Amino acid sequence: MNDDRRARVLQAIVEDYVSTNEPVGSKALVEKHRLGVSSATIRNDMAALEQDGLIAQPHTSAGRIPTDKGYRHFVDRIDEIKPLSAAEKRAVARVLSHPVDVDDILDRTVRLLSQLTHQVALVQYPRVTTADVRHIELVDLAPTRVLVVLITSGGQVEQRLADVGREVSAAEIADVRDLLLAALAGTPVAQVPEAVEGLRPRPEEADLATAVGTVLADLSRTFRTERLVMAGTANLARAGTELGASIGPLLEAFEEQVVLLRLLSGMTAEGPDVAVSIGSENAYDGFATTSLVATNYLADGIESRMAVLGPTRMDYPTTMAALRSVARYVSAILND
């Protein structure tokens, strides 16, 4: 028994199947890959791999395709994740340069990951339980309405309209903004609802301060809600036949996000490591034909997740390299 050669045979089957989406036969392996043995030996190796549950024959007289167990064996034996090419690295740096805010950088990130991997990209918003209020701005948009903008120390920005119910002057808006900044600047986001209850505005500005304070409390709760930004869901159409009946539950999960967040939280990827969950390893039946590749990025010193989701027939080395590289760029930007 030659385990090393059989590992190379499995690797060749995975790579060819990912590339062609066609079952791989022994003749094709001999012709394309320099394995140094005869077709008969390759057939024996394939029979052993099939017996071990690493490959399967989809129908009679067909070649073989990897199973979930085979993909796992392949991924676990990736000794070194191939780096992105120089051109890909330049593209990453260009796309992610000069971001406006966290929303902007995360939107660019998911679009970039989707383009690099041709799969669905997911990025979890940074956890801000330890973030502080950096700035509050009030903008007079209409006689009775004020735009409330909350910015955290992690660079996240949320905004919402506050309806005061009466006309407010620029002087009143400036007074209330100064009051809020004095009371809330440097306050942990999680403590904003309690802090606004302790405001003591002038009586004539109490209604404005209450309306704005209510909005700020709501915005702070939005920051604490776990959520994802996604791109590339149209790529699922390319893999429709591979995903089969799973595509419906997948689309529902994209809308709800709760299942995706649970899947991500259940994956262990410490520091810059990349975690891979393949097919039946996923805890939810709707994801049994998909793989989820995830890693961590840092925002204000706190780890959050970014991931790529696609069919199990995925280019794992390229996907893992793209995730690791993009996560490093995003972490550097958000912690600069």
pTM: 0.72
Q: How far apart are CA 1 and CA 6, in angstroms?
A: 9
> What is the CATH number assigned to the segment(s) 86-127+226-334?
3.30.450.40
Nearest-angstrom CA–CA distance, 145 and 142: 5
What pLDDT is recorded for position 158? Answer: 85
Spell out the residues 6+ positions from residue 245 whose beta carbon is closer than 8 angstroms to its own.
Answer: none
C-alpha to C-alpha distance for 21 and 34, rounded to whole angstroms = 21
User: How far apart (Å, rounded) are the C-alpha atoms in residues 269 and 276?
Assistant: 9
Would the pLDDT of 127 be above 90? no
- Per-chain mean pLDDT for the chain: 86
269 contacts: CB under 8 Å, gap ≥ 6: 275, 294, 295, 296, 305
Between vectors from CA 301 to CA 296 and to CA 307, what angle results, nearest 5°? 15
What pLDDT was estimated at residue 265? 81
Q: Which two tokens stand for residue 277?
A: 């969950």
User: 36 pLDDT band (50/70/90 cuts)?
Assistant: confident
- pLDDT over 60 at 272, yes or no: no
3-class DSSP state for residue 54?
A: coil
| Whether 126 contacts 228, CB under 8 Å | no
What topology is assigned to 3-76 in CATH? Arc Repressor Mutant, subunit A (1.10.10)
Tell me the C-alpha to C-alpha distance, in Å, between residue 199 and each of 147, 165, 178, 192, 215.
19, 20, 12, 11, 14
86-127+226-334 shares its CATH topology with 133-224:
no
Percent of the residues in the chain that have a pLDDT greater than 70, as a whole number? 92
In degrees, to the nearest 5, what angle opens at C-alpha 317 toward C-alphas 313 and 322? 110
* pLDDT > 60? residue 104: yes
The backbone torsions φ and ψ at residue 267, rounded to the nearest 5 degrees and listed phi first, read -95, 135
Fill in the DSSP letter of residue 271. T
Instruction: Confirm if 112 and 165 have CB atoms less than 8 A apart.
Output: no
If one looks up domain 133-224 in CATH, what number appears? 3.30.390
Q: Which of 35-44, 66-75, 260-269 has the lowest mean pLDDT?
A: 260-269
Residue 224 near residue 231, CB atoms below 8 Å:
no
Please write the tens of the pLDDT for every residue from 293-303.
999 998 767 78
* HSE-up (13 A, CA, CB side) for residue 52: 17
> What is the per-residue pLDDT for 145?
92
Q: Which amino acid makes up residue 134?
A: R
Domain ranges of the chain: 3-76, 86-127+226-334, 133-224
pLDDT in tens, 194-226: 999 988 999 999 999 999 999 999 888 776 667
Percent of the chain with pLDDT over 90: 45
